[in-house]
Chain A
């Protein structure tokens, strides 16, 4: 059994309410931070912990916080990014739904560290019921003196507001989120200036993921040094993984980043193996936008080493033979799944969610989607594969925000690792249409099931 920091108390009866949360040791970290530590101490503690952003990019949180500009007389803001829309990722929903006070407590500590008196939670529009849960938690925290004016007589004021998005994936990008929060069209801004200098209403702003901010609570509780001891190398602490796909036990798991991918998929403690006794074909280890990996590259790196569930190991080999930790949306595909159909679904998603601001993404994603629809309907041409490769190459890295990259990477990886399945799809169009699944030989050699 691994270490649990975030979900330790998540299943205690009634933990959603303030009384139970407090009884179980909640708000101890906030009390400790506000009463015994200065804001800089908190930032220092987070730096020591080596906590990395859990939203996808994995940028060190302490470093991000220390970049925050602090001009005199201008308010600063903390914004919690709860616009979790990546296909395959549902860890934040779980966290907010089951243990909302953890996020509120994390927000209070982080707001104190950053000097933010007005803190916002920008939540995905589809999470309508969670808004009520969060607002109730905020109200309870307020009634018990954890929010409002002069918290714990320390002179620190803090208010938390929940803002619902309107269901746009792009608003999970931090600058688009800020635009949307300001009431404008959710178009990503052109950086620089970065939000740490000019963010919400041109004020210095830090945008962090729900899980990142929640992780601040255990860091304060057990100190940064202790937190850094969990995990391995630069991947410290615990990470929530939302596992889904063809596995026996889909769900949200908290791991300490020392277990191997093989163990995570096949162990009964975690995913419990592939459903219906099938074989593993491929897996997207970090949410839909990271490169897909075939079974042989997933369990072992190109050098033949065991691949572990952490930032470095999953990224081993770069994009040629590796992938990314991303946001922790672990999507497993068994031998029956068709990679072309799967990638076509993703291409359609990114076409639909592109904001249309910059040309490579607006035109490129729709072009790729059209080609995939043609492949899927059995009218594909051999030249389409190279064309897809060129389109994704022209999008990758040339757009304003990472959505362009996110649209390009899955296509690139699918073609890189599963090119003959694409070719088979074109040469055996009728058969591909009929049985609607791909080639099974990627699952060979058989992974060892213990």
Chain B
């Protein structure tokens, strides 16, 4: 038996997800195989976080249907499985967006996640880069069937850096794993059980560890946010720039979120799945509290350039780098001149097509444009 496994080890497993096949090394999860393929077939995740060991399996948004177990055992799996924690078998066939069952279950999970969520996006600092927002736009229903008061909690103060909004929490346990794996001693955790379970520090202690700030980055919703950035700005008005500094505690590679020349917020660099980046040498880009909370001057940092925002989130709004403009004009497409549409550039003095929008900081006002036009002239 053991020898057989050894012989099979270097072999690659073929897995088919939504009729797209890919060969992956054994031990890969369905989710990671889907991420290798990319596109619409990637199941959404709320609790799984690649750099955190043992994370995943809790939120149930990544449920997929396994219609064929493997070549050896072609029986389908009776229940939907959590793709983030199920490893692929050779010849496995998985249905994600082609499975009505999986989509229905996901819709149900989104509803469960949202019924007690306060939906206070207009005043939430996470809005614009929130996984739950993306998820509910993608899979949620409009309206809520809940007609009871939502769950509330006693407030806990987590110290000068981290703001806790327990009502927004979806109990993904990511911050617990992050604190377990990044800090020597975890000072916060899940208290209570079931409906009343909450993230808190039992003895009302401030979270002080050097790396505890990373719980803000791993939080998929606005439950743990940066107190130094609180109510300062909206995410989509800020401009992300990659920067680094020599830090003796961490890798020092960060993203600065700027408005004008002011650094409003510092976070670790995220990849396209909104997870903290793992660099080529295998190190994960966690950053220390000093980099995150104390270094808020441009002079502290060596700026590398604008961050590429590849995610389909709201925060990519206003960052029109590499945007492709259609070659055809509207009359060409329609075959006639539109009656109700008018070219705003021809009637407005504010909008000047010769100025690239990415050159403008924040929302455009007539003042900004006038200044830019004056400068150009």
A: residues with CB less than 8 A from B are 168, 185, 190, 192, 351-360, 362-367, 370, 387, 390, 393-395, 397-400
Contact = CB atoms under 8 A, between A and B. Distances in A.
Contacts of B113: 359, 363
Given A190-B85, A387-B145, A400-B57, A362 B194 contact: yes
B57 A370 contact: no
A285 to B, nearest CB: 23
B58 interface: yes
A50 to B, nearest CB: 23
A189 to B, nearest CB: 9
A185 B190 contact: yes
Contacts of A397: 79-80
B109 A400 contact: no
Contacts of A359: 58-61, 109, 112-113, 170-171
B56 A190 contact: yes
B174 to A, nearest CB: 13
Contacts of A362: 112, 171, 194-195, 197
Contact of B58 (A192, A351, A358, A395): A358
Nearest to B78: A397
Contact of B105 (A168, A185, A357, A398): A398
B80 A398 contact: yes
Interface residues of B, number: 34
A363 B57 contact: no
Given A190-B58, A356-B190, A370-B148, 7 more contacts: A354-B193, A357-B58, A359-B170, A362-B194, A397-B79, A398-B80, A400-B82
A298 to B, nearest CB: 26
Interface string B171-187: 10100000000000000
A169 B255 CA distance: 46
A363 B116 contact: yes
B57 A394 contact: no
5 contacts: A356-B196, A359-B112, A359-B171, A367-B115, A397-B79
Given A190-B85, A358-B59, A360-B60, A394 B111 contact: yes
A390 B79 CA distance: 18
Nearest to B85: A190
B37 interface: no
Contacts of B63: 398
Interface in B169-222: 170-171, 173, 190, 192-197
A394 B171 CA distance: 18
B222 to A, nearest CB: 17
B79 A356 contact: no
Interface string B66-96: 0000000000000110100111000000000
A362 B117 CA distance: 13
Interface in B132-155: 145-146, 148
Contacts of A190: 56-58, 82, 85
Contacts of B170: 359
A366 B173 CA distance: 20
A399 B112 contact: no
B108 interface: yes
B95 to A, nearest CB: 15
Contact of B193 (A355, A358, A394, A399): A355
A110 to B, nearest CB: 24
Interface of B: 56-61, 63, 79-80, 82, 85-87, 105, 108-109, 111-113, 115-116, 145-146, 148, 170-171, 173, 190, 192-197
A170 to B, nearest CB: 8
A398 B60 contact: yes
A95 to B, nearest CB: 29
Given A352-B194, A354-B194, A362-B195, A367 B146 contact: yes
Contacts of B87: 192
A356 B146 contact: no
Contacts of A168: 193
Contacts of A365: 194-195
Given A185-B190, A397-B80, A363 B58 contact: no
Given A359-B170, A397-B80, A366 B194 contact: yes
Nearest to B56: A190
A370 to B, nearest CB: 5
A399 B61 CA distance: 11
Nearest to B61: A359
Nearest to A404: B60
A425 B115 CA distance: 26
A100 to B, nearest CB: 31
Given A358-B60, A394-B105, A363 B112 contact: yes
Contact of A351 (B59, B195, B197): B195
Contacts of B108: 360, 390, 393-395, 398
B31 to A, nearest CB: 13
A427 B194 CA distance: 33
Contacts of A370: 148
A366 B150 CA distance: 11
A201 B114 CA distance: 36
A5 B210 CA distance: 62
B193 A356 contact: yes
Taking each of A354, A367, A387, which has the highest tally of chain B beta carbons within 10 Å of its own beta carbon?
A367
A114 B195 CA distance: 39
Contacts of A356: 171, 190, 192-197
B89 to A, nearest CB: 11
A192 B148 CA distance: 37
Contacts of B58: 190, 357-359, 400
B228 to A, nearest CB: 31
Nearest to A386: B145
Contacts of A352: 194
B229 to A, nearest CB: 28
A337 to B, nearest CB: 27
Contacts of A390: 108, 145
A369 B284 CA distance: 43
A355 B190 CA distance: 11
B109 A394 contact: yes
Contacts of B145: 387, 390
Contact of B60 (A192, A367, A393, A399): A399
A24 to B, nearest CB: 43
Nearest to B112: A363
A72 to B, nearest CB: 10
Given A190-B57, A351-B195, A363 B115 contact: yes
A351 to B, nearest CB: 6
Ranked nearest first, the 7 interchain pairs of A and B with the lowest CB-CB distance are: A394-B108, A356-B197, A190-B57, A363-B112, A354-B194, A366-B195, A356-B194
Contacts of B85: 190
A399 B79 CA distance: 10
Nearest to B114: A363
B80 to A, nearest CB: 6
A357 B85 CA distance: 15
A356 B108 CA distance: 17
A185 to B, nearest CB: 7
A185 B191 CA distance: 10
Output the residue of B60, B171, B192 with the most chain A CB within 10 A.
B60
A191 to B, nearest CB: 9
